[in-house]
Chain A
Amino acid sequence: MQLDVLYFAWLRERIGAPRERIETGAATVADLVAQLAAMDEWHAAAFADLDAVRVAVDQELAAMDTPLDGAREVAFFPPMTGG
């Protein structure tokens, strides 16, 4: 399947792009993270500390074990700092 993967804040800066289209067979967010982190040094740097990374699947907050079945958009970002 093809996924739109989005990055925000320092993840966007480390990867050097706000979004990319990824061909993947990942079953869960964790599988996708493993695939992305193995792509190159920039992706590896972005995913080096997973405690500092949050994820949304199709614009709903999700977790590393969230399944990607039927997902279209996955976003990675640091903990949110609104308000």
Chain B
Amino acid sequence: MGKVYTGFGYWDVGAWILFFAVAAFYILWLRSQGRSDYKKGTAQDEIYWSGNEVPEDGADLTVPASSAYWGFRKALEPFYKGLLGMHTGLPADVVGYYVLTVAVLAVFVLLV
């Protein structure tokens, strides 16, 4: 294993693995302290879903991926409007951005 020296400090994977081992041991110990005398098949055994009845199909109670980080996207709406607008998917745009980038680079490299 050993240490990785970055020139600014070092990284010791062994220390981290030791940390994870200790954390895993603690978590397993904590879990083992839980009560094992609950009654199966009663309300004690059911999923608690904010006091509501749990739907039969999992699809009804999950947040879909397209809604994840909704607030993040809403807060950055102008940024995403521009970024998504740039990705038209049109072949002419795909080639166009490439040609434009190379042309701009060429101008700057010749000027510098």
Say whether A and B bind each other.
Answer: no
